[in-house]
Amino acid sequence: MNHEGVHRRKFSWDTFSSVATLIPSLILLGVFVYGFIAWTVYVSLTKWNSFIPDFSFAGLMNYMAIFNTYRFQSDLRNIVVFTVLFIVLCLVVGLALAILVDQKIKAEGFFRSIFIFPMAISFVVTGVVWSWILNPNTGVNLILKAFGWKSLPSWFLSTTITPSIPIGQIQLGIPIALLAVLIAAVWQMSGFAMAVYLAGLRAIADDIKEAARIDGAGAWRIFFSIILPQLKATTTTIIIILTAASLKIFGLIYAMTGPGQAFVTDMPSLNMFQTTFQGDAFAQGAAIAVVLLLLIAVFIIPYLISTLRQGENS
Amino acid sequence: MSTLAWKRSTRLLIYLVLIILVILYLVPVYVVVVTSLKNNAEVSLTQMWNLPSVFSFSSIKAAWAQLGPNFGNSFELAIPATILSALLGSLNGYALSKWKFKGSNVLFFLILFGMFIPYQSVLIPLLRVMDTIGLYNTIAGLILVHVVYGIPIATLIFRNFYVAIPTELMEAGKIDGTGYWGIFRHIILPLSIPGFVVAGIWQFTQIWNNFLFAVSLTNPPNQPVTVALVNIAGSQTIQWNVQMASALLVSIPTLIVYILLGKYFVRGLLAGSVKG
User: So what's the ipTM on this one?
Assistant: 0.93
The helix (H) or strand (E) run that includes residue A164 is strand A161-167
Averaged pLDDT for residues B30-42: 92
Domain of residue B73, residue span: 59-271
Under an 8 A CB cutoff, do A36 and B121 touch? yes
Tell me if chain A has a CB within 8 Å of the CB of B207.
Answer: no
Averaged pLDDT for residues B167-193: 86
Structure confidence at residue B202 (pLDDT): 96
- Residue A4 confidence class, pLDDT cut points 50, 70, 90: very low
Could you tell me the CA-to-CA distances from A309 to A85, A312, B87, B160, B276 in Å, in that order? 30, 5, 27, 15, 7
Under an 8 A CB cutoff, do A254 and B95 touch? no
Contact B136, B70 (CB under 8 A): no
Residue of chain B minimizing CA distance to A307: B276
| Cβ-nearest to A125 among B104, B148, B247 | B247
d(CA A143, CA B34): 16
Q: What is the CATH number of the domain that holds B92?
A: 1.10.3720.10
| Residue at A51 is within a domain | no
The helix (H) or strand (E) run that includes residue A167 is strand A161-167
Structure confidence at residue B274 (pLDDT): 61
Please choose, from the candidates B231, B270, B259, the residue with its C-alpha nearest in 3D space to the C-alpha of residue B29: B259
A113 interaction partners in chain B (CB closer than 8 Å): 258-259, 262
**Domains contained in chain A, number:** 1
| Residue at B20 is within a domain | no
| Residue at A9 is within a domain | no
d(CA A67, CA A76): 9
| Residue at A227 is within a domain | yes
Residue of chain B minimizing CA distance to A25: B151
| Residue at A275 is within a domain | yes
Averaged pLDDT for residues A263-286: 97
Domain of residue A153, residue span: 71-313
Averaged pLDDT for residues A225-250: 93
| Cβ-nearest to B99 among A15, A100, A192 | A15
Could you tell me the CA-to-CA distances from B203 to A23, A114, A277, B76, B141 in Å, in that order? 22, 21, 27, 14, 17
Please choose, from the candidates B72, B88, B71, B97, the residue with its C-alpha nearest in 3D space to the C-alpha of residue B203: B88
| Residue at A53 is within a domain | no
Structure confidence at residue A5 (pLDDT): 46
Averaged pLDDT for residues B74-91: 97
Structure confidence at residue A314 (pLDDT): 56
Averaged pLDDT for residues A26-35: 98
| Residue at A214 is within a domain | yes
Distance from CA of B219 to the nearest CA of A (A): 13
| Cβ-nearest to A100 among B18, B117, B233 | B18
Whether the full predicted model's pTM is greater than 0.90, yes or no, is yes
Amino acid at B254: T
Q: What is the CATH number of the domain that holds A268?
A: 1.10.3720.10
d(CA A2, CA A24): 29
Under an 8 A CB cutoff, do B46 and A142 touch? yes
B51 phi-psi bin (left φ>0, alpha ψ -120 to 50, beta other): beta
User: For the residues of B107-171, what is the DSSP string, one character each?
Assistant: HHHHHHHTTTS-THHHHHHHHHHHHHTT-TTSHHHHHHHHHHHHHHHHHHHHHHHHHTS-THHHH
Between A73-87, A128-142, A196-210, B76-90, the lowest mean confidence (pLDDT) is in A196-210
Structure confidence at residue A206 (pLDDT): 82
| Residue at A195 is within a domain | yes
Residue of chain B minimizing CA distance to A252: B211
Asked if residue A112 has pLDDT above 60, the reply is yes
| Residue at B51 is within a domain | no
Structure confidence at residue A100 (pLDDT): 95
Helices (H) and strands (E) in chain B, counts: 11, 0
Tell me if chain A has a CB within 8 Å of the CB of B206.
Answer: no
| Residue at B177 is within a domain | yes
Percent of chain A with pLDDT over 70: 96
Specify the 3-state DSSP secondary structure of B42.
coil
| Residue at A246 is within a domain | yes
Q: Which residues contact B233 (CB under 8 A, 6 or more apart)?
A: A127, A128, A131, A255, B243, B246, B247
Tell me if chain A has a CB within 8 Å of the CB of B276.
Answer: yes
Asked if residue A2 has pLDDT above 50, the reply is no
Asked if residue A24 has pLDDT above 80, the reply is yes
**Domains contained in chain B, number:** 1
- Residue B173 confidence class, pLDDT cut points 50, 70, 90: confident
Under an 8 A CB cutoff, do B255 and A304 touch? no
CB-neighbour burial class of residue B178 (10 A; exposed 0-12, middle 13-18, buried 19+): middle
